[in-house]
Structure 1
Amino acid sequence: MTDSAFSPATHIEMRRQALAALAARAWPDKLAAVRAIDDDTMIAVDANLQEPARIPGRPDAPELVPPQQVKQRSVQSPEGRAVLLHALAHIEFNAVNLALDAVWRYAGMPEAFYRDWLRVAREEAYHFELLNTHLGTLGHAYGDFPAHNGLWEMAEKTRDDLLARLALVPRTLEARGLDASPLIRDKLIGAGDKAGGAILDIILRDEIGHVAIGNHWYRHLCTQRSLDPVACYAELAQRYNAPRLRGPFNLEARRQAGFDEAELEALQRPPS
């Protein structure tokens, strides 16, 4: 079954609503579309939806540049803190799109899969709003600084393989946030930005749950396909040229997010 409709009307089923939200360009429209998705509507789990042009929808700003062109500045200055908060807001904006993409793109999963990723989209939207509002206290807004698109580029690489998407986006790139969040929080608090530090605490709390969702569905597919999760991850990371993760690692947060000891041991093993 193929369906090209993606009207944002709330009476349509959940996966089509998610596609409508993903296609929205202006960030206020995207966040409003996420909030409007109806929990009580049906989920057409077996529908193969037609991909529209120009997704994900994104505003004209920020300008997207290669990662090496995204300047880093000292958080001791208001401008430096604004640059950091903007980078975090961009990550959360991309994370909203990634969760919506998981809802509409992959047919044939249990209903719980789609409800899990809708929850993630809502929480990422909340994180974006917190960061953008705080950015406003420094005289800036989302779009004021260049940003890079690395998170979405991995989503593009894995668009045709849900197992790879789960392995390399929530369990790799987003899991990096579990390691980085405490360090960033401490930097902000050290610079006198207690409000920014409190936002990072909220993000870390929620991201543990998001990575746990990625871990759960990754293992679900591994079990379904009779694959060893650790060996499968190593093969997918090599095939898709995933970045080699470097410490320090937030092992406690990773355990809370569902990584087992074999996975943590592999993560810390020196490259051969």
Structure 2
Amino acid sequence: MVYVVSRLASNLVRQWTGKAHPFLSIPLRGSSLGTVSPTSAPFAQFHSSSASTSTSCTGASPRMEGASQLRASPGSEEEHIRLLESLRAAVKATCWQLLGTESELTASKCTKFYSKQSGQDDMALFYHDGKFYSMDATCPHEGGPLELGDIEDFNGESCVMCPWHEFDFSLATGRSSMGLQQDTYEVVVVDSEVYVKSDTPYAREKPSARTADSRGPSSSAAEATASVDTTPSADTNTLSHRAVQVLNTVDLAEKVRLSRSLYSDWQSGGVTQVGRCQPPDQPPRRDDIVVLPSSKLRYKKSKSKQGVINLLHALCNIELWAVDLSWDIVARFSDFTVGDDKTPLPTEFFAEWAKVADDESKHFDLLNSRLVALGSHFGANPVHNGLWDHAHDTAEDLLGRLAVVHMVHEGRGLDVQPVTRDWLAEMDPDSLPMMVTIIEEEITHVGAGIKWFRWICEHSTPPLDGVSTFQALVRKYFFPGYLKPPFNKEARELAGFTEEWYLPLVKPKAIKK
């Protein structure tokens, strides 16, 4: 049996895909192609849908299963055309995409491919121990870049470790010991060329048109806007001025003291005015704390004392940014108004976020104290500023800030807390009491995000539907625009974050799992 391809069919597919496709390497009897009837099995299923735009995948491999059933026979030009239409539909229906040659893709441990389709994740192609593996490139925890993670043996499996928070993902299955699941894709090598099976089109270069503005509709900026007037008030003993003082403080102990003192003074009446004061673009960090771009961060995960330290250090970093994010929302949106009547935010809004900042300050202190007890401290490892990226993106959009930072990211924290708590209970039981406290209070933080998101939507002109507005903002600001299970449904419901908010943002493939 000899593998031959019609020159005409090959030229058509080259014109259509830019490359010959191994799907068309059909074993035929005889030395000439002749004509294969589109009604012959297995082409019949493809010919009937050749005019369709459907992208659902069939089970065929790149070298089509059952192709040996085909017979070559002479035919008319019309039959040739029908055959080529069938071939075209057949190639599309398989969802196999050529990624490159085996030699170029084995040169590095991972190659990133960019989605050409809005709202879909990029893909990471790993080469490890002589095999290719493929999965979505964005960590389902907090959006870390998996293509930059190290590959390690973990629990007897080859896993890629997220460089942000050490979450492990099996190269073979996409499962994580932390309870998350990453989508994986079948990869084959045919004639030294590497193919992946996915209905998302990929490119080696990042599409130039893929910007934040192209990922979804904008929020209701006309109905809900923040004033750009940053003229400071005469009285500096205001919530906003002192919030900015916390944001600009680099000494960690002093930062926590100022934060907790401010909330105490607000509660006791020592501070009564919200005021107005411009916050920094990004809070500074102490000189000895190495803040790396998220793409440069590396952690090592292990079931050891150092593994516990690394995890607690990563959690410390999250809590420290959470302190800053809570005070930033107070200062940055202190003169925010909503609706045609320019309704200001009620004092309760600022009081609630001051309470959240106080909680986050306590959480940081608890975690850092445990680090010290284990012989380490915050700053011993490099940290990333990935959470602040979303704060920067939503600096002029309060609904966007609430949606992405205080609902999506805080909600994901609820999702992973049970597994994190159980892992620490095994590896460091002394950490368990503080983890119980943290998760209980984080539920109220997600609740605060939802509460004020609803309030702004209800007071907009015209009123906005909260659920659909949230989903539009996630698609706009949170690349790739969808969320991944598993979800801590019980904790989310306690916060008022019920399934109608987030399940429509989950890929259908993930829901089926």
TM-score normalized by structure 1? 0.90
| Equivalent residues of 1:4, 1:49 under 8 A apart | yes
Gaps spanning 5+ residues in structure 1: where?
Answer: none
Give a deviation string over 1:15-43, Cα, whole Å, max 9, x none: 21111111111111211111221211222
Cα distance, 1:222 vs. partner? 1.1
1:171 to 2:407 alignment: yes
Counterpart residue type for residue 189 of structure 1: A
| More deviation, 149-158/241-250 | 241-250
1:262 to 2:486 alignment: no
Cα distance, 1:70 vs. partner? 3.2
| More deviation, 176-185/72-81 | 72-81
CA distance in 1, matches of 2:234, 2:360: 22
CA distance in 1, matches of 2:289, 2:431: 21
CA distance in 2, matches of 1:251, 1:104: 32
| Equivalent residues of 1:170, 1:211 under 8 A apart | yes
CA distance in 2, matches of 1:92, 1:168: 16
**What does 1:18-29 align with in structure 2 at a 5 Å threshold?**
18-29=243-254
Counterpart residue type for residue 459 of structure 2: Q
Q: 1:120 aligns with which of 352, 356, 359?
A: 356
Aligned equivalent of 1:42: 272
CA distance in 1, matches of 2:393, 2:371: 31
1:238 to 2:475 alignment: yes
CA RMSD of aligned residues (A): 2.2
Give a deviation string over 1:111-132, Cα, whole Å, max 9, x none: 0010001001111000000000
Between 1 and 2, higher relative CO (CA 8 Å, sep ≥ 6) is seen in 1
Cα distance, 1:211 vs. partner? 0.6
| Equivalent residues of 2:410, 2:446 under 8 A apart | yes
Cα distance, 1:67 vs. partner? 3.3
| Equivalent residues of 2:471, 2:505 under 8 A apart | no
**Higher normalized helix content (fraction of residues):** 1
| Equivalent residues of 2:301, 2:310 under 8 A apart | no
| Equivalent residues of 1:6, 1:20 under 8 A apart | no
| Equivalent residues of 2:283, 2:324 under 8 A apart | yes
| Equivalent residues of 1:18, 1:100 under 8 A apart | yes
**What does 1:111-260 align with in structure 2 at a 5 Å threshold?**
111-191=347-427, 193-225=428-460, 226-242=463-479, 244-260=482-498
Give a deviation string over 1:156-213, Cα, whole Å, max 9, x none: 100101111001101011211000111111111122x112122221111000000100
| Equivalent residues of 2:399, 2:456 under 8 A apart | yes
**Which protein shows a greater Rg?**
2
Cα distance, 1:269 vs. partner? 5.2
| Equivalent residues of 1:75, 1:188 under 8 A apart | no
Cα distance, 1:152 vs. partner? 0.8
Give a deviation string over 1:222-268, Cα, whole Å, max 9, x none: 11121112211221122223453211110000001111341143254
User: Do the aligned partners of residues 70 and 80 (structure 1) sit closer, same or farther apart at CA in structure 2, a change above 3 Å counting?
Assistant: farther
CA distance in 1, matches of 2:484, 2:417: 15
User: Do the aligned partners of residues 227 and 242 (structure 1) sit closer, same or farther apart at CA in structure 2, a change above 3 Å counting?
Assistant: farther
1:100 to 2:327 alignment: yes
CA distance in 2, matches of 1:242, 1:173: 13
User: Do the aligned partners of residues 125 and 51 (structure 1) sit closer, same or farther apart at CA in structure 2, a change above 3 Å counting?
Assistant: closer
Counterpart residue type for residue 400 of structure 2: A
Counterpart residue type for residue 205 of structure 1: E
CA distance in 1, matches of 2:302, 2:441: 24
Aligned equivalent of 1:110: 346
Gaps spanning 5+ residues in structure 2: where?
Answer: 1-228, 336-343
User: Do the aligned partners of residues 36 and 3 (structure 1) sit closer, same or farther apart at CA in structure 2, a change above 3 Å counting?
Assistant: farther
Counterpart residue type for residue 155 of structure 1: A
**Higher normalized strand content (fraction of residues):** 2
Aligned equivalent of 2:298: 71
User: Do the aligned partners of residues 238 and 267 (structure 1) sit closer, same or farther apart at CA in structure 2, a change above 3 Å counting?
Assistant: closer
| Equivalent residues of 1:6, 1:17 under 8 A apart | no
1:88 to 2:315 alignment: yes
User: Do the aligned partners of residues 51 and 130 (structure 1) sit closer, same or farther apart at CA in structure 2, a change above 3 Å counting?
Assistant: closer
CA distance in 2, matches of 1:262, 1:74: 35
CA distance in 2, matches of 1:3, 1:179: 41
Aligned residue for 2:257, secondary structure, equals helix
User: Do the aligned partners of residues 69 and 189 (structure 1) sit closer, same or farther apart at CA in structure 2, a change above 3 Å counting?
Assistant: farther
User: Do the aligned partners of residues 6 and 145 (structure 1) sit closer, same or farther apart at CA in structure 2, a change above 3 Å counting?
Assistant: farther
Counterpart residue type for residue 25 of structure 1: V
CA distance in 2, matches of 1:98, 1:171: 13
Count of residue pairs brought into register by the alignment: 265
CA distance in 1, matches of 2:431, 2:279: 37
